[in-house]
Amino acid sequence: MAEKTTYSISELAKEFDVTTRSVRFYEDQGLLKPARRGQTRIFSSKDRVRLKLILRGKRMGFSLAETKELFDLWDETLTGNEKQLLKMLTILDNKRAQLEQQKNDIAQAEMEMDTAEARCREALADLQKRKRQQKGAEKEAPEPAEQK
């Protein structure tokens, strides 16, 4: 038994660096379904996984609604009628296309950042050069008399 199986709301919040408010909100929107002991929420490791997926989804630009759709779909898929399964397969295909697009976007962004960085470094080198040149000039004519 290496894995902890239940978590409090603040444990999860701390682990993933979100507020408890957010966690409750995700439950409200049907993305998490913690058990209860009285009023208190008790999160399972499944909930934990889902929270992780929610946050990754957000980083990838997915809305909560989109993520919920996927969760729901996957749950339905597990009940396993043929139509659901086929639907899931096509949706997986679509998501894959989305990921491809994102990979392209990232690659583009990286290239542009490369050229941006290069330009920055060039500009910096230029500045350094001018500084050195000025220092040389100062030796020829020291103290270039301030303008009053």
Residues lying near its own copies in the complex (CB under 8 A): 56, 58-61, 74, 77, 80, 82, 85-86, 88-89, 92, 95-96, 99, 101-103, 105-106, 108-110, 113, 116-117, 120-121, 123-124, 127
**How near is the Cβ of 77 to DNA at its closest, in Å?**
22
- Can residue 4 be called a binding residue for DNA (CB under 7 A)? no
- Among the listed ranges 60-68, 75-83, 89-97, 117-125, the one in contact with DNA (CB under 7 A) is 60-68
Give the nearest distance from C-beta 105 to DNA in angstroms.
16
Q: Are 50 and 32 in contact (CB under 8 A)?
A: yes
Distance CA 30, CA 24 (A): 10
Query: Count of CB atoms within 10 A of residue 5's CB?
Result: 11
Kindly state the tokens that stand for 120.
Answer: 């920055």
Using CB atoms within 10 Å of the CB of residue 142, give its burial: 0 to 12 exposed, 13 to 18 middle, 19+ buried. exposed
**Other Cβ atoms within 10 Å of 73 Cβ, number:** 15
> Which listed option, its own copies, DNA, none, makes contact with residue 137 (CB within 5 to 8 Å by class)?
none
Q: Does residue 11 touch DNA according to CB under 7 A?
A: yes
Does the protein bind DNA through residue 64 (CB under 7 A)? yes
